[in-house]
């Protein structure tokens, strides 16, 4: 059975795929006739609504486990590198540098500097420094070895020079508060029996008391006596809301016999004792040892028969 072109109706060979007349794709005549037979008229069928299907829970479909296949290891093959023959570099001959002759510098004559006359400096007259009277340092008295008093021989009087020379050693003792020295023809015994600072409710006082006994020898084997007392005080007081300062001093020269005892709150400057301090003084305690020494030497007090 031949093939019929649906476009132009021409028949072609049975094995042809395209119409030789119009070039349209063709189908077999037998298949076409069958299609016409199947398209016969059929009366319409009554509509039957579809029946609802019960809902079926979709079941998960098991997946078949596929064992992974090991991959064959492929050894990487090194890629051959193309060898490049290094090209020789052309040698560049260094070019000689042109020598530049240094240019001489013109000589510059140094300019003389003007002389600057130094200005005289004003003389600063040194200011006189106030004279600070040196304070005598208290010397630690180191008594010499006591010498025995010079005894008169057969009632004879000892020499004046010998009596004066031996007096300090015979009179000074470590346990006594006074000291004897020799000045000229005199034996001088000093007793600073008070050097203290006293405190009260509204006043502070510094007080000093000193007694001096002077014995002067004469060529006739007799001595004369002279007493001297000195008193000094200074203080600070508060009265009526005002601060006051005061000082006083007094002295006596002649003959005296005294006994004194003083007690107060303060500080003894001679030994550093503080608190309740006391001071005791007796002129006889100083005079009698000096008189005994001169009497032992064969000397007599002036005015006595």
Instruction: Give tens-digit pLDDT for 158-210.
Output: 889 999 999 999 999 999 999 999 999 999 999 998 998 998 888 899 999 99
pLDDT higher than threshold 80 for residue 292: yes
For the stretch 20-27, contacts whose Cβ atoms lie closer than 8 Å and that sit 24 or more positions apart, written own/partner, are: 27/3
User: Is residue 101 in some structural domain?
Assistant: no
Instruction: Say what the pLDDT of residue 21 is.
Output: 76
User: Is residue 51 in some structural domain?
Assistant: no
Work out the average pLDDT over 95-103. Answer: 73
User: Is residue 103 in some structural domain?
Assistant: no
User: Is residue 151 in some structural domain?
Assistant: no
User: Is residue 174 in some structural domain?
Assistant: yes
Work out the average pLDDT over 240-257. Answer: 90
The structural domain count of the chain equals: 2
Q: Helix or strand or coil: residue 300?
A: strand
In angstroms, the CA 96 to CA 94 distance is 6
**Are 212 and 181 contacting, i.e. CB atoms less than 8 angstroms apart?**
no
In angstroms, the CA 66 to CA 31 distance is 46
Provide the domain limits for residue 15: 3-35
pLDDT higher than threshold 50 for residue 86: yes
The closest of 233, 241, 227 to 286, measured between CA atoms, is 227
User: Is residue 62 in some structural domain?
Assistant: no
Please report which confidence band the pLDDT of residue 233 belongs to, taking 50, 70 and 90 as the band edges: very high
Instruction: Say what the pLDDT of residue 138 is.
Output: 41
pTM of the entire structure?
A: 0.48
pLDDT higher than threshold 80 for residue 261: yes
1-5, 80-84, 143-147, 175-179: least confidently modelled range: 143-147
The DSSP secondary structure of 195-251, one letter per residue, reads EEEEE-SSEEEEEEEEEEEEEEE-TTSEEEEEEEEEEEEEEEEEETTEEEEEEEEEE
Instruction: Say what the pLDDT of residue 32 is.
Output: 44
In angstroms, the CA 160 to CA 185 distance is 8
Cα angle: 230, vertex 232, 235; to 5 degrees: 170
5-14, 22-31, 43-52, 180-189: least confidently modelled range: 22-31
pLDDT higher than threshold 80 for residue 280: yes
User: 105-148 pLDDT, tens per residue?
Assistant: 777 777 777 766 667 666 565 565 655 554 544 443 343 444 44
């Amino acid at each position: 059975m031949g093939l019929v072109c649906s476009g132009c109706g021409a028949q072609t060979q049975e094995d042809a795929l395209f119409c030789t007349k119009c070039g349209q794709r063709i189908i077999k005549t037998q298949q076409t006739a069958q299609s016409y037979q199947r398209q016969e008229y059929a009366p319409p069928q009554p509509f039957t609504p579809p029946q609802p299907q019960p809902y079926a829970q979709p079941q998960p479909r098991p997946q078949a486990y596929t064992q992974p296949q090991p991959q064959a290891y492929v050894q990487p093959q090194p890629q051959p590198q193309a060898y490049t023959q290094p090209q020789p570099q052309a040698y560049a001959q260094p070019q000689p540098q042109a020598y530049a002759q240094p240019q001489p510098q013109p000589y510059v004559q140094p300019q003389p500097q003007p002389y600057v006359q130094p200005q005289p400096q004003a003389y600063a007259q040194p200011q006189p420094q106030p004279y600070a009277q040196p304070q005598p340092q208290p010397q630690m008295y180191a008594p010499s070895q006591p010498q025995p008093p010079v005894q008169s021989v057969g009632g004879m009087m000892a020499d004046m020079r010998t009596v004066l020379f031996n007096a300090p050693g015979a009179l000074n003792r470590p346990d006594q508060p006074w000291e004897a020295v020799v000045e000229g023809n005199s034996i001088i015994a000093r007793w600073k029996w008070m050097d203290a600072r006293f405190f009260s409710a509204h006043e502070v006082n510094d007080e000093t008391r000193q007694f001096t006994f002077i014995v002067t020898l004469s060529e006739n084997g007799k001595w004369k006596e002279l007493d001297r007392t000195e008193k000094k005080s200074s203080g600070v007081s508060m009265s009526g809301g005002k601060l006051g300062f005061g000082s006083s001093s007094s002295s006596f020269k002649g003959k005296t016999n005294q006994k004194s005892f003083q007690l107060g709150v303060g500080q003894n400057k001679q030994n550093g004792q503080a608190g309740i301090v006391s001071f005791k003084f007796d002129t006889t305690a100083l005079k009698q040892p000096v008189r005994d020494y001169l009497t032992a030497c064969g000397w007599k007090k002036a005015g006595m028969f």
